[in-house]
Every structure is written in C-alpha cells, then in structure tokens.
Amino acid sequence: MENKRAFYSYFFKNLLKGFVYLVVLIGLVILFKNYFQSQFDAIEHAISDSYLKMFVIFLISELFVGLIPPELFMVWTLDDPLHYYILSILVMTVVSIFAGWLNYLFGRFIANREFFLHLFNRRLRLKKYQKRFEQYGSGLIIVAAVTPLPFSLISLLTGTLLFPQKKYLILSSFRILRFIAYGIAIYEVGGFL
C-alpha cells in the first residue's frame, strides 16, 4: 500500500512538473516570438514548411532523449489549418512511440554488452531511473509516457532490463494521452502565440 502511495505521489509530482514545464515553455515562446519575431519565423519556416523534414527532425530528436521538446513542433504547426494541426499531432504521437520502441529494441540489443555495462556504471542518470524502475516497476513507463521524464531514456532502460516487449508497447501507448492533452492546451493558447 505504501509503495502504491509513493508511486502516485511520484506520478503526480511529475505531472505537476509537466504542467509547469508547459506553462514556462509557452511563456518562453511568447517572449521569443515578441522580441525576436523574424528569428522565430525563420526557425518555424525552416522546420515546419516541409512536414517530411519536420517529422524526420522530430524522430531524430525523440531518439536522442527529446533534444527538441515535442511541444515546440506543436507550436510550429499552429499556423496550419486545424485538420493539419490534428494530423501533425497524431503523426508526432506515432513517431514518438516508434522512437521509444526503437530505443527499447536498442536497449535489448545492448543489455548484456560489456561496453554498455561499463557505460551504465558510469552514468548516474541511468542508475537513478533503474532505481525508480525497481521501485515502481512498469508504472515508470507510464509516468515517462505522460510526463516530462525522458521517455526515450526510460524506453532504453526498459529494453536493457529485458522487459516484455508486448507489455512495453501497451504501456508506452499512454504517450497518446500526453500528446492529446498538450496538443489541446497549445491549440487553446494558440491565439497568444
């Protein structure tokens, strides 16, 4: 019972961090757009004028622990008609889940490799999430899927622990909730952007 309470506390703490993160990100985008309009437009057009290029950049970002926050891609597609925005959110969701799955597969591949074990012993961030995985089990995948925890890193770790693939895919589908919620939130504040 106490472990369940600790898990819910951890989950809601990260959910709150996600909300604060989203508010701060939107605030920063508004400031950047207001004070650096031409640079913002240049970045937006460089990335979002070609959906293929945007989704390739997004895939690369998601493979490498979300180098560019998914919410920025959502902001960059706000100028498009609503049906393109919705389609973009759906594609980003699929791409994010796919990138997580690729990280999971890579984790399974390197699980017993000596160089990984050496790297793992030197990287405290991975150890930190392994402790969380031991503490919360598969719930950590759900937390990473819906909060700002590094989903790709958790997916990689899940693979190295040889977690069952089918169960991983089911749990990682919670990522859909994050993209829908953030997509709606960004669309609602789109008038300020």
**114-117-120-121 Cα dihedral, nearest 10 degrees:** -120
Its pTM stands at 0.84
pLDDT at 9: 78
Residue 105 has a pLDDT of: 94
Of residues 119 and 109, more confidently modeled:
109
Q: Give the pLDDT score at 70.
A: 86
Average pLDDT for 72-88: 88
More confident site: 12 or 123: 12
Q: What is the mean pLDDT of the chain?
A: 83
Domain ranges of the chain: 2-192
Per-residue pLDDT at 72 exceeds 90:
no
Res. 117: pLDDT tops 80? no
CA-closest candidate to residue 85, choices 174, 173, 184? 184
Q: Residue 98: its pLDDT value, please?
A: 96
Instruction: Report the share of the chain in percent with pLDDT over 70.
Output: 90
pLDDT of residue 124 exceeding 60, the answer is no
What residues contact residue 29 under an 8 Å CB cut-off, 6+ apart? 40, 72, 75, 193
Q: Measured on CA atoms in the order 13, 97, 191, 47, is the torsion positive or negative?
A: positive
Q: Is the pLDDT confidence value at 1 over 60?
A: no
Which pLDDT score is estimated for 101?
A: 96
What pLDDT sits at residue 180? 94
Q: Report angle CA 160, 161, 164 to the nearest 5 degrees.
A: 105
Whether the pLDDT of residue 152 is over 70: the answer is yes
In this prediction, residues 33-59 reach a mean pLDDT of 82
Residue pLDDT, tens place only, 126-138: 677 777 887 788 8
